[in-house]
Amino acid sequence: MTPIPDVTVTVIVYNDAERLPRAVASLRRQTHENIEIIISDDHSTDDTPAVARRLAAQDDRVTYLRLPANSGGCSAPRNRALEIARGPFLMFLDSDDELPERAVELLLAAHREHEVDFTMGAVERVRVDTGRTSTWMPHLVAERRTVHGIAAEPALFFEHLSTSKMYRRAFLDRNDLRFPEGIHYEDQLFSAQAYCLARAFTVIPEPVYRWYIAPYEAAEAASISNQRHKLSNVRDRVHVQRLIDDFLTSSGHGALQEAKDHKFLKHDFRMYAGDLPFRDEEWLTGFADIVNPYLAGLSPGAYARLPRAERVVLQLVRDNRLAEARLAARGLGHGVAPRETSMDAEGRVYWGGHVPQTPSGRAELDLTDLGLDSRPFPSAQFRHEITRIERGPGARVDLTVRTYDPGLRLPVGPQVATLLVAPGHRRMKTPFRLDPVLPGVFEGTARLDLARAPLPLDGFEGVRHPVLQLTSGGLRNTSLLLAPLTFPTLRARIDYRSGATPHEVTLEPEGRATGRLQLRWTPVGVTAHIIRPLTRRAAAKTGPRLRRTARLAASVLR
């Protein structure tokens, strides 16, 4: 008779034959081996069935389950697996992700320490394009603890992933808790219900899930969370929020409404806000039509907990000042000033060229507390925008920059500004003059010669975003530099007279987030492909002295 597994891990898959073996391999490597693995296939049409059957043949812990028809979501394959799962504890894994080797061991051990309904741990995010890793919501999982009901820590609503948790089967059955079918963002509803229904759950700081993020994945293959460009995605997200609201009310958890509303504004809406500068007028109109009825019913206290810059974007959307919302959304989180402000008879300062007419507009667009005209100069808020980009000979480019100073912090007359970029060990400084064109508005042209960038002898590979520095009274202010949202990509090959590694430099719009000017350095030629990798491997195995010797050897070989 087959022994009862301690834990059942369900791997959901749809048309992912390439990555499914990696996901299953991460389960077969678990330090706690007494597990059941169910591959739940949402009726794939590629080679997934053959791959899944082969994986099941290799390990008797693996079972292959194929749905008779495609459900179009994650819920049905998870629920069908729950019907046959034999373990008293349950976990879920997506086919494009992995579990760290000790995930099952750590979460199961936390269950055995305390009688809790589920345990949860840290999620390691891995950028597919860069390989960089980070922790999802690190402040929520930094400390090991047992939480006796979500009311004790409502901020945990922000950690809405179902895959970072190990559930007690009896808890799910007792509450008839299953994944809602026929909707997207089902994790948000399922997790909100689990948080509210659980009497206690344990949080551990160790990583228990490895989430691969592919931000530039093709639109047709992108995950639901990477399809924010679709208005249907907005509708799906708002719809599931309404379902969560209904559940909070019906289950007697209405006191958590403000915390949940804050999570929506700070996380869900905030993701769309960062994309607003890249959306056209038709999309913006559709977006406002979808979100505004929902925004109108959210708790005032949830808005009050947000930073002022986010409240400004929200209010401009609610007022259907959509072109201005796009403008306000650029530079969110980076202290970027508005182009202009207005002042009422009481001396209060507001975002935009006129004083708001409604009480909500005056409350949300009030910038008085930001001290645009009085805060210390190093933290003063300006707005620097590149208005024109012209390529010169070689690797030179002329950037026309317009600076907005709504707080009138700069003295009247021409200003000396400096463009800063640091692809190597030292900063490259490009000074230029900003001339006044209007009160609080300056403009000038910086000639950026990328061939002068102080690169290391063994080269530099990566991306940098230039910033702009101003000085006043001996104090410096360094601020974000916004680029046009679209412009033709410029490329140049640079062969340095010093004998440094040749590079191709690409100047392009950032394309995401704030839309900064982006410079990309790529080593090229024999030095880049042969000598540089050798010297870098040697440097990794040596101390600073031998590392310098390796660089010297590379320069001699060149």
pLDDT in tens, 222-252: 454 567 889 999 999 999 999 999 999 999 9
pLDDT digits (tens, 9 = 90+) for 137-174: 999 999 999 999 999 999 999 999 999 999 999 999 99
pLDDT of residue 556: 41
Residue 90: strand, helix, or coil:
strand
CA distance 388 to 384: 12
What residue ranges of the chain are covered by domains with CATH 3.90.550.10? 7-222
- CA 466, chain centre distance (Å): 21
Class of domain 7-222: alpha beta
Could you tell me the pLDDT band of residue 558, with boundaries at 50, 70 and 90? Answer: very low
* Buried residues in 134-163 as b, exposed as e (16+ CB within 10 A): eebbeebbeeeeebeebeebbebbbbbbbb
pLDDT digits (tens, 9 = 90+) for 263-304: 999 999 999 999 999 999 999 999 999 999 999 999 999 999
Mean pLDDT computed over 401-426: 94
Chosen CATH of 378-484 out of 1.10.10, 2.60.40, 3.30.460, 1.10.260: 2.60.40
Mean pLDDT computed over 59-73: 95
* Buried residues in 427-438 as b, exposed as e (16+ CB within 10 A): ebebebebebee
Q: What is the pTM of this model?
A: 0.88
Q: Taking 50 as the threshold, does the pLDDT of residue 555 lie above it?
A: no
Mean pLDDT computed over 85-100: 97
pLDDT of residue 536: 53
Query: DSSP of 371-392, one letter per residue?
Result: -TTTS-GGG---EEEEEEEEE-
What residue ranges of the chain are covered by domains with CATH 2.60.40? 378-484
Name the residue among 144, 208, 203 with its Cα closest to residue 7: 208
* % pLDDT > 70, the chain: 91
Lookup: tokens for 35: 């597990």
Label residue 180 exposed, middle or buried (CB < 10 Å: 0-12, 13-18, 19+): middle
Cβ atoms of residues 460 and 495 within 8 Å: no
Q: Hey, how many other C-beta atoms are within 10 angstroms of the C-beta on 406?
A: 22
Residue 405: strand, helix, or coil:
coil
Q: Hey, how many other C-beta atoms are within 10 angstroms of the C-beta on 1?
A: 3
Name the residue among 314, 301, 292, 367 with its Cα closest to residue 337: 367
CA distance 187 to 502: 48
CA atoms within 13 A on the CB side of 406: 23
